Amino acid sequence: MLQRLSLVLIFAIAAVVAAALALGAYLNYGSVRAAYLGQVESRLLAIGKGIVDDIETSISFGIPIAGQETLDPLLARERAADPVLFAIDVMDREGEILHSSDPARVGQVLPLLDAGELQVDLAIINSFGSEAGSVRFIADTSILEHNLDSTASTVRAAAIYALIGAMALALLAVLIMLSSAKRRAAEAGQMAAGEGEDGHGWAFSQVSEEHDRVAGRLNELEAKGEK
Amino acid sequence: MRRLDLALLAVLALLLVGALVFVSWRALDSAERLLLPELNRKAEVVGESISGLFEEAIDYGIPLKDVVGADEVLREALAESSEFASIAVRMEGGSELASVERAGAGSLRSPIIVKTAIKQGEEVVAEVVIAIPPAVVARTIRNIWLDVAIVLLASILVTFEMLALVFSSDVGRALRGLGQRLVAINRGDLRAHTPVESKGIFGQASDDLDHRLSSLAKRQRELEGRATAARDTEAGVALQQLEAKHHLLGKRDQPPPKLAAIRAPLFLFFFAEELTRPFLPSYIASLASPLPWLSRELVISLPIVLFMAIVAILLLFLNDLTERVGRGRSLRAGAVIAVIGFAGSAYVTDLLQLMFFRGLTAVGYALVFVSAQGAIIDGTERRNRARGLSILVGAIFVAALCGPPVGGILADRLGERETFLVSAVLALLAIVTARFAMPHQARPRGITGGARPNLATFLRVISKPPLALLLFGCALPAKLILAALIFYLVPLSMADSGFDQASIGRVLTLYALAMLPLVPLVSRFSDRSGYRPGFVLVGAALSASAIIHPLIWAEPWGEAAMVLQLGVAQALSITPQSALVGELGRRYLPDVPEGMVYGVFRFVERSGNAIGPLIAAWLLGAYGLDVALIAVGAISLIGALLYLAAWTVGREGRSLPGSEGAR
């Protein structure tokens, strides 16, 4: 029965500790991931701002976006300089790609990416304050995930080690607790039998002594009464 | 072996803290390796952008020292990059052309420095120097530590509930029972214990101790009889003193140990529902399409109102059914219905579907609640019923404490639909644990809270002004303001202001955090002092005034202070108010069973849960948040003032609504 309790305890503890560690590890990883993607996004915004400034300056000189021929080599250079980038597109208001780091993408109208994929959009504003188009940075998610792999495996390994360590210590705690419980059960048995009442059973001996004293007194009174 | 389960819980809590701190430390270490190079790259990009501007000026023939607006450019760049401590342009030779820094940047030790050259042709004439604080990575991901702390707290509470389940097994019960006996005997408390009904060494040791306690009680009784017969005052006094010190003839009012097992499935079930608390209004909002005759706010409140109304109504009628079908079976059936409700809520595509599945969840919720309450009432006697019912209340409080923050975290990380699925899994686990916790049919004894109030009773109860004022002046507004603020206004207004679900969950948990320690304290103190109307009035006044905080403090602190004060306020009034209902019922309606008076009270109280979000939604849509807050606060205040007026008049006329307790 005791073995069964130990097993049930260990099983319950393992389930709770594993769930807590899994959620804790996931939160840690998720937080690092969000911070990393935020950093990448913020860097892409910084690069994009420079490109948008160049395009807006050209527009103010009367050169439409479609006519800014120097953009294609600039986008290709920026894309080549940053391994995280998959493509940089410059689009008109309708979303048609006019210039791109990848010439094959020019002329396409691309849909929005799925949630979870990283893209950064910056509006191009003309001299009249209206939107003339936009610049879109698309990050290569496979590279981002690859960069995050080492964090994922570090956190996973830490969670596994922590689980093993916690389980070993929990097992030890359960065994110590149960062995102490067994010892105390034996002591309780002795206490119930009227032995070893000096320690925890002080109340038993005190009550028994007082009962004996009162009983002795009543015996004497009753004996006197009978006489 | 003093409270073995608590000792084990303490060890496990330490292990969990250690394990989670270790995981966080490794994650932080790894994050530094990932984020620092990325920050460097960003600093290079920003540096190149700034150097490009200066190089352009040089190309136009403007000497570097004559460039105007350099500080402005740097200030703008620093504002856009919150990770940087300072940006400077340094001339060859070391003199600074321009420099901006954040407060405290000067005292940074060993900052990370990124330099970018400014060239005139091929010659380097200056450089852009960007300083990054070394602790930037820790700062970037420090938000996670709050989440991890919440996961830790929830894990410890879940562990506690799981241990309660384990210790309700045969041998666990015996072990805990033996521990309780040893602790009591060591304190000199020799009252009889509820039998542990278990075999094995622990059961045997408990039985042996029970036998010893019972023989001492028997001898005490016998000696008392002999002392009375012999008219021996001295012996009688000695025996009385012994009884006063050791309570030999008393019986501990513990609920049967087997009953404690019901806490784990209840906790899991209520935890499942509480997970949805922080994101439910915004989830409804994402599905709600505008209706010409209803405001958006009113539409959002509909599933919440429907849920509360179904629960309020079904609580009146389900007791007989669960008694007939069996408490365990009804509880599991309720949890199955709720599983369908949670899972369905995860896949709905419009508001009507959501209302249907939330309605199902409400039916399941009411069934579980009534079955659990019935099982506890079946398994206890009058003397230990309050202790038994504290199992149900404890499960609800603990679930309310860790449900909203964990739900918020899950909704942020996994998504709202996925969190509904987590709720479904938890409700499923509640079914499994209920199978262990309530394996045998509790024998119906016809003494359950089954005194169902009918319309005639309802009218009789509310025809008594002291009871009517307590019910409609205090009980209903208390639940109305609670539901209006916690279930509707706070989560919705915070979500509208852009706060994430985890933050909303953390704010909502403050309510249970205040309630959990205060309720037992207030309950004990109000019982001892007997000054119950005072507690109810102070609680109502505090509830009403809680709405001031969001009007004067910025978000989320105003909301947090309001929720915390509401928790304190409700903790002050909840148990004295409940006790007052019984007292007033006995005084004014002695022929009406107490269960019926309480049935009316619970119905009126829970109606407040349904009305609260509806009123809040209407006011929010029509007049805005401030008016909605002030109005629900005013309802609570007016109710409290009416009760105060009646109480004052009653005290002067010696007919006090509840003042018999104030002695």
Q: Phi/psi of residue A86, each to 5°?
A: -95, -45
* Structure confidence at residue B38 (pLDDT): 86
Does residue B130 sit at the A interface (CB-CB below 8 Å)? Answer: no
Q: How far is B165 from chain A, CA to nearest CA, in Å? A: 9
Tell me which chain A residues have a C-beta less than 8 angstroms from the C-beta of B189: 203
Q: Does the distance separating the beta carbons of A210 and B230 come in below 8 Å?
A: no
B residues 302-361 lying closer than 8 A (beta carbon) to A: none
Considering only CB atoms, A158 lies closest to which of B22, B41, B232, namely: B22
Instruction: Pick the residue of A57, A160, A184 with the most B CBs within 10 A to test the interface with B by mutation.
Output: A184
Chain A's closest residue to B10, CA to CA, is A173
Q: How far is A155 from chain B, CA to nearest CA, in Å? A: 6
CA pair distance B474, B588, nearest whole angstrom: 18
Tell me whether residue B13 is exposed, middle or buried, using C-beta atoms within 10 angstroms of its C-beta: 0 to 12, 13 to 18, 19 or more: middle
Q: Does the distance separating the beta carbons of B24 and A24 come in below 8 Å?
A: yes
Q: Phi/psi of residue B442, each to 5°?
A: -70, 135
Does residue B208 sit at the A interface (CB-CB below 8 Å)? Answer: yes
Does residue B425 sit at the A interface (CB-CB below 8 Å)? Answer: no
Which of B403, B413, B422, B424 lies closest to B491 in space, CA to CA? Answer: B403
In 3-state terms, what secondary structure has residue B497? coil
Judge whether residue B481 has pLDDT over 70. Answer: yes
- Residue A149 makes CB contacts below 8 A (sequence gap 6+) with none
Q: How far is B301 from chain A, CA to nearest CA, in Å? A: 29
Q: How confident is the model at residue A124 (pLDDT cuts 50, 70, 90)?
A: very high
Considering only CB atoms, A27 lies closest to which of B16, B151, B199, namely: B151
Q: How far is A149 from chain B, CA to nearest CA, in Å? A: 10
* Structure confidence at residue A116 (pLDDT): 56
Sheet holding A131-139, edge to edge: A97-100, A85-92, A131-139, A119-125
Q: Does the distance separating the beta carbons of B29 and A154 come in below 8 Å?
A: yes
Amino acid making up residue A194? G
Assess contact for A45 and A37: CB atoms under 8 A.
no
Judge whether residue A95 has pLDDT over 80. Answer: yes
Higher pLDDT, B457 or B115: B115
Higher pLDDT, B169 or A120: A120
* Structure confidence at residue B284 (pLDDT): 94
Considering only CB atoms, B219 lies closest to which of A163, A193, A211, namely: A211
* Structure confidence at residue B655 (pLDDT): 46
Tell me which chain A residues have a C-beta less than 8 angstroms from the C-beta of B240: none
CA pair distance A100, A135, nearest whole angstrom: 9
Buried b (16+ CB within 10 A) or exposed e, A150-162: ebbebbbebbeeb
Q: Is the pTM of this model over 0.90?
A: no
C-alpha dihedral over B281, B285, B286, B289, to 10 degrees?
150
Mean pLDDT of B422-434: 93
Cα–chain center distance at A143: 22
Q: Does the distance separating the beta carbons of A31 and B80 come in below 8 Å?
A: no
Tell me which chain A residues have a C-beta less than 8 angstroms from the C-beta of B23: 21, 24-25, 28, 155, 158-159, 162
Instruction: Pick the residue of B28, B45, B199 with the most A CBs within 10 A to test the interface with A by mutation.
Output: B45
Q: Does the distance separating the beta carbons of B186 and A24 come in below 8 Å?
A: no
* Structure confidence at residue B367 (pLDDT): 94
Does residue B418 sit at the A interface (CB-CB below 8 Å)? Answer: no
DSSP per residue, A138-194: EE-HHHHHHHHHHHHHHHHHHHHHHHHHHHHHHHHHHHHHHHHHHHHHHHHHHHHTT
Q: How confident is the model at residue A184 (pLDDT cuts 50, 70, 90)?
A: confident
Distances A4 to A10, A188, B171, B327, B548 between C-alpha atoms, Å:
10, 22, 9, 28, 56
Instruction: Pick the residue of A2, A8, A21, A23 with the most B CBs within 10 A to test the interface with B by mutation.
Output: A23
- A60-94 residue pLDDT tens: 888 888 888 888 888 888 888 888 888 899 998 88
Contacts 24+ apart (CB under 8 A), A70-75: A71/A99, A72/A99, A72/A100, A72/A101, A72/A103, A75/A51, A75/A99, A75/A100, A75/A101
Amino acid making up residue A140? D
Tell me which chain B residues have a C-beta less than 8 angstroms from the C-beta of A29: 27
Q: How far is A46 from chain B, CA to nearest CA, in Å? A: 6
Mean pLDDT of B190-218: 84
Does residue B529 sit at the A interface (CB-CB below 8 Å)? Answer: no
What percent of chain A clears pLDDT 70, i.e. is strictly above it? 92
Judge whether residue B653 has pLDDT over 60. Answer: no
CA pair distance B109, B428, nearest whole angstrom: 54
Q: What angle (nearest 5°) sits at the alpha carbon of residue B372, between those of residues B478 and B179?
A: 105
Instruction: Pick the residue of A5, A11, A149 with the most B CBs within 10 A to test the interface with B by mutation.
Output: A5
Assess contact for B2 and A188: CB atoms under 8 A.
no
Q: What angle (nearest 5°) sits at the alpha carbon of residue B501, between those of residues B495 and B504?
A: 75
DSSP per residue, B357-390: HHHHHHHHHHHHHHHHHHHHHHH--HHHHHHHHH
Q: Does the distance separating the beta carbons of B238 and A214 come in below 8 Å?
A: yes
Does residue B56 sit at the A interface (CB-CB below 8 Å)? Answer: no
Higher pLDDT, A63 or B387: A63
* Structure confidence at residue B141 (pLDDT): 63
Does residue B159 sit at the A interface (CB-CB below 8 Å)? Answer: yes
Q: Does the distance separating the beta carbons of A151 and B27 come in below 8 Å?
A: yes
CA pair distance B626, B550, nearest whole angstrom: 8
* Structure confidence at residue B663 (pLDDT): 34
B residues 6-45 lying closer than 8 A (beta carbon) to A: 7-8, 11-12, 15-16, 18-20, 22-27, 29-31, 33-35, 38-39, 41-42, 45
| Residue A168 CB neighbour total at 10 angstroms | 11
Judge whether residue B81 has pLDDT over 60. Answer: yes
Mean pLDDT of B262-287: 92
- B587-602 residue pLDDT tens: 888 888 777 888 888 8
Q: Does the distance separating the beta carbons of B11 and A170 come in below 8 Å?
A: yes
Q: Does the distance separating the beta carbons of A157 and B158 come in below 8 Å?
A: no
Q: Which of B182-196, B306-320, B526-540 has the highest mean pLDDT?
A: B306-320
Average pLDDT, rounded, for chain B: 84
Higher pLDDT, B558 or B9: B558
Judge whether residue B283 has pLDDT over 70. Answer: yes
Complex prediction ipTM: 0.79
Tell me which chain A residues have a C-beta less than 8 angstroms from the C-beta of B409: 27
Of the listed ranges A31-45, B2-16, B179-193, the one predicted with least confidence: B2-16
Does residue B211 sit at the A interface (CB-CB below 8 Å)? Answer: yes
* Structure confidence at residue B2 (pLDDT): 46
Does residue B249 sit at the A interface (CB-CB below 8 Å)? Answer: no
CA pair distance B459, A73, nearest whole angstrom: 85
C-alpha dihedral over B252, B254, B256, B259, to 10 degrees?
180
Question: What angle do the packed helices B501-529 and B143-166 form, to 10 degrees?
Answer: 50
Q: How far is B162 from chain A, CA to nearest CA, in Å? A: 7
Tell me which chain A residues have a C-beta less than 8 angstroms from the C-beta of B46: 46
Sheet holding B96-101, edge to edge: B96-101, B86-91, B123-132, B112-120
